[in-house]
């Protein structure tokens, strides 16, 4: 049986169209899912949209629209943007899907039957932009004049008869779980943050709303709707068939990793596992909270008005350049400023000069010196052994970095090989070897063809279009594209007909 891999992104609010921040998580999950597929895993990649709650209702009202029609309009922009970014998800979940709604009610009933839900009165602050209750500990005696402690936007005072979840009951279990699973939350700084916050105590939380009806009704009280975060988190179960499609659910749950940004860590690393503990379900295996893309140190978000849309940059640089830049520029887990000059630099230097030129030089020389056919290696030159060693070590490092989602480091390693290959051409001077006619030329050209084949496999998760073009130029199709078997050196067949084509990354001024 093939091993499974289940990866998710947050489901995005439909009050805004996708931007570079939401694209970041979606691309990272896509890269990981593509990588795992290449490694032979039966992979499930889930993304989608979060469509209920007061924030969405208000956004729809502001446009004079019914919330479902409003959501439909924004969702179509998500579909389009993810297609433009070459995102290959297995399912796109919408919280307005009837199946999802049923799953949320089932989970709610399970938790209620377990004695973990009770009725009470919520009297306190609420941040509608974050859709979160602000606890007494977080608010000062005079309220929250400074706004929400997470997003700093104004909070509202709520007084509602609500249903509460006994989160407090799970404090010790959660701490114990964290102690036994030191990699449950990554990076480690986020683990420590969560651990010390739980140690200070967990309060029960309200999980219903009574003052509007854009949401999923409680199974036991039709006058209330389920709190949007309880609704949204359940997507990770309903997206893989919970509760009806037991076969798929059993195959994929627990999720291998929930990718999120740091602002929604508490919901995922604490509230969500406690809900699952209560329902008798396993928690996900890992929560990875990456950092924020910022603009002059401010988080990129619709409310700050500093949003960059993927379409704006795709038109200028091409989709693979954006995918590459986002994952190469900042270590996954840290914040980083989005800057067009940095994108331009990486596009022109690393993609056009280093990668694009390497491919063009190799193919041009195979065309010119060997009639467009990959030559047979004569075994005169010892560099084949050196390349073999280099790629064996690259494979180990690349896989290790991918397993811990360190995309920038994995790419850095591939670029070391690309730079060495360019230097290999400069050092061996095939144009001189062509005159010497010693047979060494065949060895060098063979090695170069194999180097670019391997580069295409490594780049496949990150830049699928580019990898595909390289393979077409090299004259190979579906062969040798699995990890690790496709990564050993020396597999390309002599006689393979290459097809030079045009330059991969035209420079951008």
Binding site for ligand ME8 (CB under 6 A): 10-13, 21-22, 24-25, 50, 232-233, 235, 260-261, 264, 292-293, 299-301
- Least gap, CB of 291 to ligand ME8 (angstroms): 7
- Least gap, CB of 498 to ligand ME8 (angstroms): 40
| Residues sharing a CB contact under 8 Å with residue 368, sequence separation 6 or more, in sequence order | none
Token pair listed for 492: 């390309």
- Least gap, CB of 280 to ligand ME8 (angstroms): 20
E-strand stretches of 347-468? none
Measured from the CB atom, the residue of 301 and 473 that comes closer to ligand ME8 is 301
- Least gap, CB of 260 to ligand ME8 (angstroms): 4
Measured from the CB atom, the residue of 99 and 299 that comes closer to ligand ME8 is 299
Main-chain phi, psi angles of 126, to 5 degrees: -140, 135
Instruction: Write out the DSSP string of 213-242.
Output: --SPBPSS-TTSEE-HHHHHHTHHHHTTTT
- Least gap, CB of 8 to ligand ME8 (angstroms): 8
CA distance 191 to 187: 7
Which DSSP helix (H) or strand (E) runs through 370?
Answer: helix 357-370
Measured from the CB atom, the residue of 104 and 300 that comes closer to ligand ME8 is 300
Distance of CA 181 to the CA centre of its chain: 22
Cβ-proximal residue to ligand ME8, closest one = 21
CA distance 135 to 174: 19
- Least gap, CB of 10 to ligand ME8 (angstroms): 4
Measured from the CB atom, the residue of 12 and 387 that comes closer to ligand ME8 is 12
Measured from the CB atom, the residue of 26 and 473 that comes closer to ligand ME8 is 26
**Which DSSP symbol is given to 505?**
S
Token pair listed for 27: 């691309």
Nearest alpha carbon to residue 288 among 311, 258, 268, 267: 258
Q: How large is the C-alpha radius of gyration of the chain?
A: 26
CB–CB of 151/127 below 8 Å?
Answer: yes
Supply angle C-alpha 347, 416, 481, rounded to 5: 85
Token pair listed for 462: 């990150």
- Least gap, CB of 328 to ligand ME8 (angstroms): 15
- Least gap, CB of 375 to ligand ME8 (angstroms): 47
Measured from the CB atom, the residue of 231 and 381 that comes closer to ligand ME8 is 231
Measured from the CB atom, the residue of 10 and 310 that comes closer to ligand ME8 is 10
Measured from the CB atom, the residue of 11 and 362 that comes closer to ligand ME8 is 11
- Least gap, CB of 11 to ligand ME8 (angstroms): 5
Bridge partners, 268 (sequence order): none
Which DSSP helix (H) or strand (E) runs through 337?
Answer: strand 336-337
CB–CB of 476/453 below 8 Å?
Answer: yes
- Least gap, CB of 22 to ligand ME8 (angstroms): 4
Sort strands 156-165 and 205-206 into parallel, antiparallel or unpaired.
Answer: antiparallel
Measured from the CB atom, the residue of 209 and 453 that comes closer to ligand ME8 is 209
Measured from the CB atom, the residue of 239 and 375 that comes closer to ligand ME8 is 239
Residue with tokens 């019914």: 66
How many alpha carbons lie under 13 Å from residue 414 in its C-beta half-sphere? 30
């Amino acid at each position: 049986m093939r091993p499974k891999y289940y990866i998710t992104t947050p489901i995005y609010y439909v009050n805004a169209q996708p931007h570079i921040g939401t694209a970041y998580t979606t691309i990272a999950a896509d890269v990981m899912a593509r990588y795992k597929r290449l490694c032979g895993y039966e992979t499930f990649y889930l993304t989608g949209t979060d469509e209920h709650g007061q924030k969405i209702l208000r956004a729809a009202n502001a446009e004079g629209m019914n919330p479902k029609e409003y959501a439909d309009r924004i969702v179509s922009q998500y579909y389009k943007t993810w297609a433009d970014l070459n995102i290959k998800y297995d399912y796109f979940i919408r919280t307005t899907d009837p199946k999802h709604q049923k799953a949320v009610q089932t989970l709610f009933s399970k938790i209620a039957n377990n004695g973990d839900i009770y009725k009470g009165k919520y009297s306190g602050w609420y941040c509608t932009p974050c859709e979160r209750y602000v606890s007494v500990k977080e608010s000062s005696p005079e309220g929250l004049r400074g706004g929400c402690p997470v997003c700093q936007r104004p909070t509202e005072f709520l007084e509602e008869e609500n249903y509460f979840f006994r989160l407090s009951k799970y404090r010790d279990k959660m701490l114990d779980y964290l102690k036994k699973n030191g990699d449950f939350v990554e990076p480690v700084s986020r683990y420590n943050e969560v651990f010390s916050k739980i140690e200070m105590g967990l309060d029960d939380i309200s999980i219903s709303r009574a003052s509007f009806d854009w949401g999923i009704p409680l199974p036991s009280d039709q006058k209330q709707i389920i709190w949007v975060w309880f609704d949204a988190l359940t997507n990770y179960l309903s997206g893989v068939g919970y509760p009806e499609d037991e076969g798929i659910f059993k195959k994929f749950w627990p999720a291998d990793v929930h990718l999120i940004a740091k602002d929604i860590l508490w919901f995922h690393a604490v509230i969500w596992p406690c809900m699952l503990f209560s329902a008798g379900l396993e928690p996900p295996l890992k929560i990875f909270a990456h950092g924020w893309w910022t603009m002059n140190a401010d988080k990129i978000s619709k409310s700050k008005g500093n949003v960059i849309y993927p379409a704006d940059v795709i038109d200028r640089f091409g989709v693979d350049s954006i995918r590459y830049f986002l994952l190469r520029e900042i270590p996954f887990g840290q914040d980083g400023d989005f800057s067009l000059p940095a994108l331009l630099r990486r596009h022109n230097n690393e993609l056009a000069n280093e990668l694009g030129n390497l491919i063009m030089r190799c193919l041009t020389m195979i065309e010119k010196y060997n009639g467009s056919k990959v030559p047979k290696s004569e075994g005169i030159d010892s560099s084949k052994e050196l390349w073999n060693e280099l790629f064996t070590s690259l494979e180990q490092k690349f896989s290790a970095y991918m397993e811990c989602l360190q995309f920038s480091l994995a790419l850095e390693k591939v670029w070391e090989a690309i730079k060495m290959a360019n230097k290999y051409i400069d050092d061996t001077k095939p144009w001189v070897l062509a005159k010497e006619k010693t047979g060494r030329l065949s060895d060098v050209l063979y090695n170069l063809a194999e180097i670019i084949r391997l580069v295409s496999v490594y780049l496949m998760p990150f830049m699928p279009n580019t990898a595909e073009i390289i393979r077409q130029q090299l004259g190979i199709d579906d062969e040798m594209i699995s990890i690790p078997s496709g990564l050993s050196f020396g597999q390309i067949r002599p006689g393979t007909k290459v097809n030079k084509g045009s330059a991969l990354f035209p420079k951008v001024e």
